[in-house]
Copies of this chain bind each other. A is one copy, B any other.
Protein backbone atom coordinates (compact mmCIF):
# COMPACT_ATOMS: atom_id res chain seq x y z
CA UNK A 1 0.00 0.00 0.00
CA UNK A 2 1.39 3.29 -1.06
CA UNK A 3 1.27 6.15 1.34
CA UNK A 4 3.05 9.26 0.08
CA UNK A 5 3.25 12.16 2.47
CA UNK A 6 0.03 13.57 3.73
CA UNK A 7 1.39 17.09 3.73
CA UNK A 8 2.36 18.92 0.59
CA UNK A 9 5.96 19.89 0.12
CA UNK A 10 9.09 17.87 -0.45
CA UNK A 11 8.17 14.23 -0.64
CA UNK A 12 10.04 11.02 -1.07
CA UNK A 13 7.30 8.94 -2.55
CA UNK A 14 4.59 10.67 -4.54
CA UNK A 15 0.93 10.11 -3.80
CA UNK A 16 -0.82 7.66 -6.12
CA UNK A 17 -4.30 7.30 -7.34
CA UNK A 18 -4.93 4.96 -4.43
CA UNK A 19 -3.97 7.62 -1.92
CA UNK A 20 -6.45 9.94 -3.54
CA UNK A 21 -9.12 7.24 -3.52
CA UNK A 22 -8.60 6.47 0.15
CA UNK A 23 -8.56 10.11 1.17
CA UNK A 24 -11.76 10.85 -0.68
CA UNK A 25 -13.42 7.58 0.26
CA UNK A 26 -14.05 6.34 -3.27
CA UNK A 27 -12.59 3.70 -5.51
CA UNK A 28 -9.60 3.95 -7.82
CA UNK A 29 -11.82 3.96 -10.85
CA UNK A 30 -13.83 6.89 -9.70
CA UNK A 31 -10.67 8.87 -9.20
CA UNK A 32 -9.50 7.75 -12.60
CA UNK A 33 -12.82 8.81 -14.08
CA UNK A 34 -12.65 12.30 -12.70
CA UNK A 35 -9.02 12.70 -13.74
CA UNK A 36 -9.83 11.72 -17.27
CA UNK A 37 -13.10 13.60 -17.22
CA UNK A 38 -14.98 10.65 -18.65
CA UNK A 39 -18.19 8.84 -17.75
CA UNK A 40 -20.46 10.91 -15.56
CA UNK A 41 -19.30 11.15 -11.95
CA UNK A 42 -21.72 12.70 -9.49
CA UNK A 43 -20.81 16.28 -8.64
CA UNK A 44 -20.43 15.46 -4.95
CA UNK A 45 -17.88 12.76 -5.49
CA UNK A 46 -16.09 14.72 -8.12
CA UNK A 47 -15.63 17.58 -5.74
CA UNK A 48 -14.36 15.36 -2.96
CA UNK A 49 -11.91 13.75 -5.32
CA UNK A 50 -10.68 17.06 -6.62
CA UNK A 51 -10.21 18.31 -3.11
CA UNK A 52 -8.16 15.26 -2.20
CA UNK A 53 -6.06 15.72 -5.33
CA UNK A 54 -5.33 19.29 -4.39
CA UNK A 55 -4.58 18.48 -0.76
CA UNK A 56 -2.25 15.68 -1.68
CA UNK A 57 -0.62 17.52 -4.52
CA UNK A 58 -1.35 14.47 -6.62
CA UNK A 59 -0.12 14.26 -10.18
CA UNK A 60 -1.11 11.41 -12.43
CA UNK A 61 1.78 9.16 -13.34
CA UNK A 62 2.09 9.37 -17.09
CA UNK A 63 4.44 6.44 -17.20
CA UNK A 64 1.86 4.11 -15.74
CA UNK A 65 -0.77 5.49 -18.04
CA UNK A 66 1.41 5.04 -21.09
CA UNK A 67 2.16 1.50 -20.08
CA UNK A 68 -1.43 0.44 -19.77
CA UNK A 69 -2.54 2.34 -22.85
CA UNK A 70 0.32 0.92 -24.83
CA UNK A 71 1.02 4.22 -26.43
CA UNK A 72 2.80 7.43 -25.60
CA UNK A 73 2.32 11.01 -26.58
CA UNK A 74 6.00 11.50 -27.20
CA UNK A 75 7.59 12.31 -30.53
CA UNK A 76 11.23 11.79 -31.37
CA UNK A 77 13.01 14.50 -33.36
CA UNK A 78 16.21 14.11 -35.29
CA UNK A 79 18.12 17.16 -36.23
CA UNK A 80 21.62 17.44 -37.60
CA UNK A 81 22.69 20.71 -36.08
CA UNK A 82 20.65 22.72 -33.64
CA UNK A 83 23.32 25.39 -33.83
CA UNK A 84 22.08 26.17 -37.33
CA UNK A 85 19.28 28.69 -36.76
CA UNK A 86 17.31 27.20 -39.60
CA UNK A 87 16.94 23.96 -37.70
CA UNK A 88 16.64 25.66 -34.34
CA UNK A 89 13.70 27.58 -35.69
CA UNK A 90 12.23 24.50 -37.30
CA UNK A 91 12.47 22.46 -34.10
CA UNK A 92 10.92 25.31 -32.19
CA UNK A 93 7.94 25.51 -34.52
CA UNK A 94 7.52 21.78 -34.68
CA UNK A 95 7.61 21.53 -30.91
CA UNK A 96 5.11 24.32 -30.61
CA UNK A 97 2.57 22.55 -32.79
CA UNK A 98 3.25 19.22 -31.16
CA UNK A 99 2.61 20.80 -27.78
CA UNK A 100 -0.68 22.18 -29.05
CA UNK A 101 -1.70 18.63 -29.91
CA UNK A 102 -0.66 17.30 -26.52
CA UNK A 103 2.62 15.80 -27.64
CA UNK A 104 6.01 16.23 -26.09
CA UNK A 105 9.15 16.10 -28.17
CA UNK A 106 12.44 14.41 -27.52
CA UNK A 107 15.36 15.79 -29.43
CA UNK A 108 18.45 14.14 -30.76
CA UNK A 109 21.18 16.18 -32.35
CA UNK A 110 22.94 13.79 -34.67
CA UNK A 111 25.69 15.91 -36.18
CA UNK A 112 24.83 14.06 -39.33
CA UNK A 113 26.38 10.89 -37.95
CA UNK A 114 24.49 7.74 -38.75
CA UNK A 115 25.88 5.98 -35.67
CA UNK A 116 24.39 8.65 -33.50
CA UNK A 117 21.17 8.34 -35.43
CA UNK A 118 20.99 4.63 -34.88
CA UNK A 119 21.80 4.96 -31.21
CA UNK A 120 19.04 7.51 -30.84
CA UNK A 121 16.54 5.42 -32.71
CA UNK A 122 17.21 2.67 -30.21
CA UNK A 123 16.61 5.06 -27.35
CA UNK A 124 13.46 6.43 -28.91
CA UNK A 125 12.09 3.01 -29.72
CA UNK A 126 12.70 1.72 -26.22
CA UNK A 127 10.86 4.74 -24.93
CA UNK A 128 8.11 3.81 -27.33
CA UNK A 129 7.76 7.15 -29.04
CA UNK A 130 4.55 7.51 -30.99
CA UNK A 131 6.41 8.78 -34.02
CA UNK A 132 9.65 10.14 -35.41
CA UNK A 133 10.40 13.31 -37.32
CA UNK A 134 13.58 13.53 -39.34
CA UNK A 135 14.30 17.23 -39.68
CA UNK A 136 17.61 16.35 -41.17
CA UNK A 137 19.08 12.92 -41.57
CA UNK A 138 22.25 11.28 -42.68
CA UNK A 139 20.27 9.64 -45.45
CA UNK A 140 21.74 6.30 -44.46
CA UNK A 141 19.45 3.72 -46.10
CA UNK A 142 19.92 1.45 -43.10
CA UNK A 143 17.95 3.95 -41.04
CA UNK A 144 15.02 3.89 -43.42
CA UNK A 145 15.15 0.11 -43.43
CA UNK A 146 15.21 0.00 -39.63
CA UNK A 147 12.25 2.32 -39.30
CA UNK A 148 10.27 0.30 -41.78
CA UNK A 149 11.13 -2.89 -39.96
CA UNK A 150 10.01 -1.45 -36.67
CA UNK A 151 7.02 0.05 -38.39
CA UNK A 152 7.16 3.27 -36.45
CA UNK A 153 5.42 6.29 -37.95
CA UNK A 154 7.96 8.69 -39.39
CA UNK A 155 8.02 11.86 -41.40
CA UNK A 156 10.82 13.66 -43.18
CA UNK A 157 10.66 17.42 -42.82
CA UNK A 158 12.47 19.97 -44.98
CA UNK A 159 13.65 17.38 -47.41
CA UNK A 160 12.14 14.81 -49.73
CA UNK A 161 11.99 11.12 -49.39
CA UNK A 162 9.63 9.03 -51.48
CA UNK A 163 9.78 6.19 -49.00
CA UNK A 164 8.43 8.28 -46.14
CA UNK A 165 5.78 10.87 -45.65
CA UNK A 166 7.61 14.10 -46.24
CA UNK A 167 7.28 17.81 -46.60
CA UNK A 168 9.82 20.10 -48.15
CA UNK A 169 10.13 22.89 -50.66
CA UNK A 170 10.32 22.54 -54.38
CA UNK A 171 14.10 22.41 -54.56
CA UNK A 172 14.34 22.72 -58.33
CA UNK A 173 12.10 25.73 -58.25
CA UNK A 174 14.09 27.35 -55.47
CA UNK A 175 17.39 26.93 -57.23
CA UNK A 176 15.77 28.01 -60.45
CA UNK A 177 14.67 31.26 -58.83
CA UNK A 178 18.19 31.86 -57.59
CA UNK A 179 19.79 31.25 -60.97
CA UNK A 180 17.14 33.23 -62.76
CA UNK A 181 17.76 36.16 -60.45
CA UNK A 182 21.49 36.06 -61.11
CA UNK A 183 20.96 35.68 -64.83
CA UNK A 184 18.65 38.66 -64.90
CA UNK A 185 21.34 40.68 -63.19
CA UNK A 186 23.63 39.86 -66.04
CA UNK A 187 25.75 37.16 -64.49
CA UNK A 188 26.93 34.67 -67.09
CA UNK A 189 29.38 32.64 -65.10
CA UNK A 190 27.93 30.94 -62.05
CA UNK A 191 29.26 28.61 -59.38
CA UNK A 192 27.57 26.29 -56.94
CA UNK A 193 28.94 26.26 -53.40
CA UNK A 194 28.31 23.74 -50.67
CA UNK A 195 29.85 22.77 -47.34
CA UNK A 196 29.75 20.19 -44.60
CA UNK A 197 26.78 22.07 -43.17
CA UNK A 198 24.53 20.82 -45.91
CA UNK A 199 22.68 17.54 -45.78
CA UNK A 200 24.10 15.31 -48.48
CA UNK A 201 20.87 14.43 -50.24
CA UNK A 202 19.76 18.02 -50.23
CA UNK A 203 23.09 19.02 -51.64
CA UNK A 204 22.82 16.57 -54.50
CA UNK A 205 19.42 17.73 -55.58
CA UNK A 206 20.28 21.40 -55.32
CA UNK A 207 23.46 20.90 -57.24
CA UNK A 208 21.68 18.99 -59.95
CA UNK A 209 18.97 21.63 -60.12
CA UNK A 210 21.66 24.24 -60.39
CA UNK A 211 23.19 22.53 -63.38
CA UNK A 212 19.85 22.35 -65.13
CA UNK A 213 18.94 25.94 -64.34
CA UNK A 214 22.29 27.13 -65.65
CA UNK A 215 21.65 25.48 -68.96
CA UNK A 216 18.15 26.88 -69.11
CA UNK A 217 19.47 30.37 -68.56
CA UNK A 218 22.46 30.00 -70.81
CA UNK A 219 24.93 30.46 -67.98
CA UNK A 220 28.35 28.95 -67.74
CA UNK A 221 29.08 26.78 -64.71
CA UNK A 222 32.36 27.11 -62.89
CA UNK A 223 33.85 24.32 -60.84
CA UNK A 224 31.65 23.76 -57.77
CA UNK A 225 33.21 24.78 -54.47
CA UNK A 226 33.15 22.83 -51.25
CA UNK A 227 33.72 25.47 -48.61
CA UNK A 228 35.20 24.75 -45.20
CA UNK A 229 32.93 26.92 -43.08
CA UNK A 230 34.79 26.25 -39.85
CA UNK A 231 38.03 27.33 -41.45
CA UNK A 232 36.40 30.55 -42.56
CA UNK A 233 35.08 31.07 -39.04
CA UNK A 234 38.62 30.58 -37.85
CA UNK A 235 39.90 33.21 -40.25
CA UNK A 236 41.05 31.28 -43.28
CA UNK A 237 40.90 32.74 -46.78
CA UNK A 238 39.84 29.90 -49.07
CA UNK A 239 40.07 30.26 -52.81
CA UNK A 240 36.84 30.61 -54.75
CA UNK A 241 36.04 29.96 -58.41
CA UNK A 242 36.15 32.82 -60.88
CA UNK A 243 32.41 33.11 -61.25
CA UNK A 244 30.60 36.40 -60.62
CA UNK A 245 27.43 34.75 -59.40
CA UNK A 246 27.27 32.17 -56.63
CA UNK A 247 24.47 29.91 -55.51
CA UNK A 248 25.12 28.50 -52.05
CA UNK A 249 23.51 25.29 -50.86
CA UNK A 250 22.26 26.98 -47.70
CA UNK A 251 22.44 30.27 -45.81
CA UNK A 252 25.20 29.21 -43.47
CA UNK A 253 27.38 28.35 -46.41
CA UNK A 254 26.34 31.54 -48.17
CA UNK A 255 27.40 33.89 -45.42
CA UNK A 256 30.66 32.05 -44.97
CA UNK A 257 31.14 32.45 -48.70
CA UNK A 258 30.43 36.18 -48.57
CA UNK A 259 33.05 36.43 -45.86
CA UNK A 260 35.56 34.33 -47.76
CA UNK A 261 35.07 36.38 -50.92
CA UNK A 262 35.43 39.56 -48.90
CA UNK A 263 38.78 38.41 -47.58
CA UNK A 264 39.91 37.91 -51.16
CA UNK A 265 38.93 41.47 -51.91
CA UNK A 266 35.84 40.44 -53.82
CA UNK A 267 33.09 42.34 -52.09
CA UNK A 268 29.39 41.68 -52.57
CA UNK A 269 27.53 42.78 -54.52
CA UNK A 270 30.12 44.78 -56.43
CA UNK A 271 32.58 42.06 -57.39
CA UNK A 272 30.41 39.04 -56.76
CA UNK A 273 26.79 38.15 -56.11
CA UNK A 274 25.73 35.47 -53.67
CA UNK A 275 22.36 33.79 -53.19
CA UNK A 276 21.66 31.56 -50.19
CA UNK A 277 18.98 29.00 -49.45
CA UNK A 278 16.83 28.63 -46.30
CA UNK A 279 15.80 32.10 -45.25
CA UNK A 280 17.37 32.31 -41.80
CA UNK A 281 15.99 35.44 -40.13
CA UNK A 282 19.42 36.53 -38.95
CA UNK A 283 20.73 36.86 -42.45
CA UNK A 284 18.61 39.96 -42.88
CA UNK A 285 20.82 41.74 -40.41
CA UNK A 286 24.09 43.45 -39.80
CA UNK A 287 25.71 43.83 -43.12
CA UNK A 288 24.76 40.33 -44.15
CA UNK A 289 21.67 41.33 -46.09
CA UNK A 290 21.72 37.98 -47.76
CA UNK A 291 19.68 37.41 -50.87
CA UNK A 292 18.22 33.99 -50.37
CA UNK A 293 15.60 31.43 -51.27
CA UNK A 294 13.34 31.29 -48.25
CA UNK A 295 11.55 28.16 -47.10
CA UNK A 296 8.11 28.47 -45.48
CA UNK A 297 9.22 27.22 -42.07
CA UNK A 298 5.95 27.63 -40.28
CA UNK A 299 3.97 25.79 -42.89
CA UNK A 300 6.59 23.11 -43.10
CA UNK A 301 6.50 22.45 -39.39
CA UNK A 302 2.73 22.42 -39.29
CA UNK A 303 2.39 20.13 -42.26
CA UNK A 304 5.13 17.82 -41.04
CA UNK A 305 3.45 17.38 -37.70
CA UNK A 306 0.11 16.78 -39.36
CA UNK A 307 1.48 14.10 -41.62
CA UNK A 308 3.07 12.40 -38.65
CA UNK A 309 0.00 12.58 -36.44
CA UNK A 310 -2.10 11.15 -39.23
CA UNK A 311 0.14 8.09 -39.23
CA UNK A 312 0.18 7.91 -35.49
CA UNK A 313 -3.59 7.85 -35.78
CA UNK A 314 -3.29 4.67 -37.80
CA UNK A 315 -3.74 6.32 -41.19
CA UNK A 316 -2.80 3.86 -43.84
CA UNK A 317 -1.80 4.24 -47.43
CA UNK A 318 1.22 5.13 -49.53
CA UNK A 319 3.65 7.87 -48.49
CA UNK A 320 2.41 11.39 -48.98
CA UNK A 321 4.92 13.91 -50.19
CA UNK A 322 4.03 17.53 -49.79
CA UNK A 323 5.90 20.11 -51.81
CA UNK A 324 5.86 23.72 -50.70
CA UNK A 325 6.70 26.84 -52.67
CA UNK A 326 10.03 28.56 -52.02
CA UNK A 327 10.27 32.32 -52.23
CA UNK A 328 13.14 34.47 -53.45
CA UNK A 329 14.09 37.23 -51.02
CA UNK A 330 16.27 39.82 -52.66
CA UNK A 331 18.56 41.77 -50.39
CA UNK A 332 22.02 43.18 -50.78
CA UNK A 333 24.40 40.37 -51.64
CA UNK A 334 23.29 40.38 -55.24
CA UNK A 335 23.70 43.12 -57.84
CA UNK A 336 24.31 43.69 -61.51
CA UNK A 337 27.24 41.89 -62.99
CA UNK A 338 30.27 44.09 -63.35
CA UNK A 339 29.09 46.47 -60.63
Residues of A whose CB lies within 8 Å of any CB of B are 8-11, 57, 59-64, 66-67, 72, 74, 81-85, 87-89, 91-92, 95-96, 99, 104-109, 119-120, 122-128, 148-151, 232-233, 252, 255-256, 258-259, 262, 281-288, 290
Provide the bound-state CA to CA distance between A23 and B119, in Å. 27
23 interchain pairs, CB-CB under 8 A:
A8-B149, A11-B151, A59-B126, A59-B150, A61-B126, A61-B128, A63-B66, A64-B67, A67-B67, A74-B106, A85-B88, A99-B119, A99-B120, A104-B108, A104-B124, A106-B107, A255-B285, A258-B287, A259-B285, A259-B286, A283-B286, A286-B287, A288-B288
Residue contact A105 to B104, C-beta cutoff 8 Å: no
- 17 extra interchain contacts, Cβ-Cβ under 8 A, other than A11-B151, A82-B82? A9-B151, A10-B148, A59-B122, A59-B125, A59-B150, A63-B127, A64-B67, A74-B127, A83-B92, A85-B282, A88-B88, A104-B106, A104-B124, A233-B285, A283-B286, A285-B288, A288-B288
Residue of B nearest to A60 (CB): B126
Residue contact B67 to A281, C-beta cutoff 8 Å: no
**How many chain copies does the complex carry?**
2
A174 to chain B, nearest CB (A): 21
Query: Given that A62-B127, A256-B286, A287-B286 are known contacts, is A9 also in contact with B149, CB under 8 Å in the complex?
Result: yes
Query: Given that A72-B63, A281-B233, A288-B286 are known contacts, is A84 also in contact with B95, CB under 8 Å in the complex?
Result: no
Residue contact B104 to A99, C-beta cutoff 8 Å: no
Residue contact B232 to A285, C-beta cutoff 8 Å: yes
Residue of B nearest to A282 (CB): B282
Residue contact B81 to A92, C-beta cutoff 8 Å: yes
Provide the bound-state CA to CA distance between A99 and B281, in Å. 30
Provide the bound-state CA to CA distance between A262 and B285, in Å. 10
Residues of chain B within 8 A of A283, CB atoms compared: 286
Residue contact A109 to B92, C-beta cutoff 8 Å: yes
Residue contact A290 to B286, C-beta cutoff 8 Å: yes
Provide the bound-state CA to CA distance between A63 and B11, in Å. 23
A13 to chain B, nearest CB (A): 8
Residues of chain B within 8 A of A83, CB atoms compared: 85, 88-89, 92, 281
A72 to chain B, nearest CB (A): 7
Residue of B nearest to A12 (CB): B151
Provide the bound-state CA to CA distance between A104 and B283, in Å. 32
